[in-house]
Structure 1
């Protein structure tokens, strides 16, 4: 008979849940995790990681098709084997799932597979293959994540109307694809299927794609994706979808209010998420806003002993935010249980980076220029184009830029926004800078290695103060 009493039980094993469990175990707490499907959650199995494997395949295909730009000849015709591409992606996901399984064993975390339902702030039942278990703990962390939001008039069917899950293991290759929504998920799949040869149309109801990004980034990306052959419709909305065995007919109202009907082979719906907070016993235990659990800076809910982290709580809904919240909650719990020497801090949302792995990549942290002005800052902003960067030109990746936004009075770094090759790997430099409360002075005095694309980060800071050297 498995143990049923713990110091901490974590409900959900995504990047928030499993990291929280590991940190609890490291701090000497007797810890269990409850998971209804796959260890690692959506991120490892159906989200962040396997999508990057798909996008890597598309990137390699793109490079092969443009081999002539690098003085190389490809003797054979380049074809995408969708089944093999998906198989590689699933292999990556499986490897990472097994890695989390290993981490649970290494840290002596009890794993209860099954559907968990809270019976109180610190107790729950788990219905699994071997029947029902009753578990209790001194503290419970809810990390149940979220799922894709459906269109009210056309629910995903896995055949013609897809969410991200079907888009990752497609039954067939779309010929003409409609992507509804241009956030990170929508744009990443639009980029992947466009590179794989589909005719892609993106419909976004707001006036620009990737609307959380700086306006300059949105404008650059739209121009670049259009050049790649995508159709981008902003200020537009899908009013109706008629689904048949052969495809979907979409009624789309454009920015001018004109309604037209277009046929597509498939449709991906990427219009946001719904938190997984219903039907698990939370109703009287927590406060919710549109289904999202309301928490304090450490992850506490209104019920003593009950905590929540990740995508089932207010955004941004990002894996790295969930992991950080998991560590914070674990250390706050250990402190409450009497462990000395820990000093957990509430998460500063201004320092959470966002990355979108389309082609070209996008990465950002902090305030856009527009938001900084709205917040009352007098700003200094500068942009440096990759065409002025030697490494970017040598790589054949000279399209893109880095933009930085500073408070004109104090020199505080308010935000950084990048689009182009490898920017998702470079943004962390600005994230560290913001976390250390840097100003332009420290960034200007930092020596950046040459030749690297990261030099454009330095130049954008210089450009903000009229001192750029290479433009």
Structure 2
């Protein structure tokens, strides 16, 4: 029954129902549609999720601006180019960032529309293993303009398309995909206010540039934000409870990154913990217990909490499909090879997955492809998380793939390790930013287990190493290939030449 154009109840059917329009969700939808499946994608906020709107894309746009600022200082201090930085036009910087995000957003929506994915706005909850109820539903304006919306192949004859607000019940013929993502973890008593206390979701949208920042959390997110604010002139204190920053990376990565950040004037406090914090009128005052057992008081205009993220499952009503979360809130697959849950027909992708999943956007893309192809009846290879690259876009950058030295030894592997500073090659001297290449391989010329990079632009160098690790290459396989000179990637080639017994410049 319709009243004044408000649809109170309607039903529809699709092959696949995806709940969540972030990287994992929309990649699942696009691939499933490309394989001929009728797909409904439900999103209550904006297509693209955290990565596009609050994380990966806007933060990397801001970090690029930070690189430009750092370049001015390097030109003046190292190269004799008498350049000065008058000021940062925050409004102009934000406008450029937002334009990049908006264009990406429109691009993703256009891809979905072109693929015939039916995008439904609203909050979804499970009502069974194959059924979903969407409340407050309404299709996107782009989808309403698509003449295929109400008569999509495979939709229930006579079913109403979600073009007006209301409640819709959907049934999935092949399966449901959970892709509702995560949110920043907050600390009790330090609730974000968007100005003095912020999380990674709102740090870039807080007003102006603070003169000082206290960053809690030395993982990739915390390090990136510490790096950005330092480039923009802020005094930065970075506090990490573990005994080193980026604690999930190889120990040498942490050591070189710490050295680079300290050289830039960032006060890195690893092995430290927050005792308490007080929110003041124009900032925060915190007490920190250092690794030496000393108590320090840190005052800053802004406190940025980057102590991890938690899965978003509230309102999904997992119990209606016979599902539960683990003690950390993750939805654990019953079959990791297919990312299938204990409820037949329900799959999970993205930040809802526990380790060994990585909670990275590019890993979510791979998960989406895997699930879509599984639902289409194909037999795709499982996601090899060890072969997924990990990048921290700070200055210096880090990029890794595969096992760390410690992980390899803990698994009982006999390993051979070779490390080379980037400054040992000419292009590394040109950049002057320090850094290193480290390779962990099986002893005796065996399989390459991990590659770890620190330095300028190493995020653009990791693809080669991803293939090396993913294809189980040996050092001799890599050593046959010639690396361009002079480049930073030349250092990667040199490390493998040495491991293969053909060392040239490395002694």
Q: How far apart are the structure 2 equivalents of 1:467 and 1:251? A: 53
Deviates most, 273-282 or 64-73? 64-73
Q: Which moved more, 1:405-414 or 1:176-185?
A: 405-414
State the 1:170 CA deviation. Answer: 1.7
Contact 2:476/2:497 (CA < 8 Å) preserved in 1? no
Contact 2:220 2:246 in 1 (8 A): yes
Query: 1:450, CA displacement in angstroms?
Result: 2.4
SS in structure 2 of the partner of residue 84 of structure 1:
helix
Secondary structure in 2 matching 1:209: coil
Query: Deviation of residue 142 (structure 1)?
Result: 0.5
Residues 133 and 254 (structure 1 numbering): CA distance in 2 closer, same or farther, change over 3 Å?
Answer: same
Alpha carbons 2:11, 2:168 under 8 Å: kept: no
Q: Within 5 Å, give how 1:7-86 maps onto structure 2.
A: 7-68=15-76, 69-74=78-83, 77-86=85-94
1:430 corresponding residue in structure 2? 465
**Alignment TM-score, normalising by the size of structure 2:** 0.88
TM-score, normalized by length of structure 1? 0.95
1:404 aligned residue (439, 449, 470): 439
Deviations 1:428-469 (A, max 9, x none): 111111221111110111222223211111112234456432
Residue 349, structure 1, aligned to residue 385, structure 2: yes
Q: Structure 2: any 5+ residue segments left out of the alignment?
A: 1-6, 139-164
Partner of residue 302 from structure 1, selected from 342, 346, 349:
342
Aligned partner of residue 315 in structure 2, secondary structure: coil
Q: Corresponding residue for 2:475? A: 440
Cα deviation for residue 232 of structure 1 reads 0.7
Residue deviations 1:139-190 (CA, integer Å, cap 9, x gap) = 1100001010001231222121100122111213211110000111100000
Offset, 1:116: 1.1
Answering whether residue 300 of structure 2 is matched by residue 292 of structure 1, we say no
Contact kept? 1:287, 1:301, Cα under 8 Å: no
Unpaired runs of at least 5, structure 1: 336-341
Distance 1:221 1:309 in 2: 31
Residue number among 110, 116, 123 corresponding to 1:115 in the alignment: 123
Among 397, 400, 414, which residue is 1:378 paired with? 414
The ranges of structure 1 where at least 4 consecutive aligned residues each deviate by more than 6 angstroms after the TM superposition are none
| Residue in structure 1 matching 2:297, options 241, 258, 261 | 261
1:78 and 1:397 mapped to 2: Cα distance? 25
- Structure 1 window deviating more from structure 2 (154-163 vs 33-42): it is 154-163
Contact 1:160/1:265 (8 A) holds in 2: yes
Aligned to 2:362: 320
CA distance in 1 between counterparts of 2:92 and 2:221 reads 22
1:183-233 Cα shifts (integer Å, max 9, x gaps): 111000000000000000000001111111111111111111111011011
Q: State the distance in 1 between where 2:492 and 2:288 align.
A: 40
Q: Choose 1 or 2 for highest CA Rg.
A: 2
CA contact (8 A) 1:400 1:419 kept: yes
Q: Give the conservation status (yes or no) of the 8 Å contact 1:205–1:235.
A: yes
Among 97, 107, 111, the alignment partner of 2:105 is: 97
SS at match of 2:461: helix
Counterparts of 2:489 and 2:292, CA distance in 1:
41
Describe the shift of the 1:453–1:77 C-alpha distance in structure 2 as closer, same or farther (beyond 3 A). Answer: closer
Are the equivalent residues in 1 in contact too, given 2:446–2:474 (CA < 8 A)? yes
Give the alignment partner of residue 454 of structure 1, picking from 489, 492, 495: 489
* Structure 1 position 274, deviation (Å): 0.6
Match of 1:332 among 367, 371, 374: 374
